[in-house]
Structure 1
Amino acid sequence: MKVSIITVVFNGVSTINHCIESVLKQDFDSIEYIIIDGNSKDGTQEVIASYGSKIHQFLSEPDKGIYDAMNKGIKLATGDLIGILNADDFYASNTVISEIVGAIEKDNADACYGDLNYVDAQDESVIKRKWISGKYKPNAFLMGWMPPHPTFFLKKKCYEKLGDFRLDMGSAADYELMLRMIYKHGIKPAYVPSVIVKMRTGGVSNSNFQNRLNANKNDRKAWKINGLKPYPFTLWLKPVRKILQFI
């Protein structure tokens, strides 16, 4: 199995090196690494260029936001399986891709996900929040569940058949895509019960109360556009689950 890893970045010179190194140190042999840059002007492009042919595809141009950049990467990907790692994030160990591929092959699955730790932006050894996903159950999305998107790997054939990220979903584009793939279309996900990705704190959707309300509105839209009906409490359980991750 060939795995394509996509990193999207814009003016991320302070973290892009760590992100790239975490991909290049993976012990899995068949990895295609794609970086999509939004025409950075802070030195990010120079850092990426310094890796030469270790970056298999590098595109730098203005885009319509992070999910537009991800879609560009998906279209360029030639791997059987696609993972997306943002420039502020990094893989927790050098065996992540091997574990993901192993779980997919064992379960004959179309997707895979794991757990995620939020770490301090300045000191990655300080864990701020633990996102333990748990094994998927058929009613999980109705109970406010979702896997952490940076740990989510999906076969390219699923993107080709069922579509990529919708650009009208705001910060809920990743939620909508996973809801559509797993809950609506019933693709089979495998679960790796270990920390796959470490993410530096500072997510857009949770940065303040107004952003949380906007995210909730987009979450509701995700269900509606897919012709799905959540429980009355479903979308309020999502932020509750996030609060519990701090405990």
Structure 2
Amino acid sequence: MRTPAAVFDPPPRLRKAASDLPTRGRYGDPHPGPPPSRGREVSLHKLAATGLHEIKPAAYRDEPAALAFALAFLGDRLVRRNRAAPLLWCLTDRAAREWGAPYGPGLISFGLDPALILIVQARSALDAAWALEEGLKARAFTAALGQIEVKEPLVARRLGLAAKASRTPCLLLSGHQGGGLPGTLTRWRVAAAKSSGGIFDASAPGVPAWHLTLERCRGMAPARSWTVEFRDVAYGFRLAARFADRAAEADTERQALSG
């Protein structure tokens, strides 16, 4: 019978040898330990607040990147904390034709169980928004995602009120054009960023990376930007290495000037 790892007690020499080894993520890149602060300095916790959050791609070509960021956030910050509750995902036929339908293996890579996702694909944006609002009112989901082009301010306000009343975070992936919608707690602009190269092959595809700009947030100054990457389900979000290095250098300079 296989011995569970939780009750396996290796000899002291083996424990010391294992502690000297660097930890490795799923992509084979060594880490000295878990990533620092798991992205809290990026204010991603604001996206977990109950209410409506708007995610806008920086350009038309960034639509898949914005959707991937939303799914990664849902799997990393919300679904993992409550694996028993399902996730609601409402989209239109046009979005499915233009960018593709939900794909199970891709969802699993972000920590999402396809069996716990209720997907509603509607013919029009109004039908999809109605399904999203009714789903929020049901109070049966850990979070909701709307891949909908909402143009009517009244629809956005209704979604915001429903999300707040049900105490459910609702991420609304809107189009890249136009200004922000009313009734939203935050508005994020997302663009695809260059990923870091593999540890063994710099030309190999790296981990997903995004450039985020917080355009609206109640109680915070707008137009704050970060570059983040998603390592895997275990490590989650972290500042991109080049961005984190600049932040560390700036902090060192501030300490030197203040000292």
Report the TM-score, using the length of structure 2 for normalisation: 0.30
Rg larger in structure: 2
TM-score of the superposition, structure 1-length normalised?
Answer: 0.32
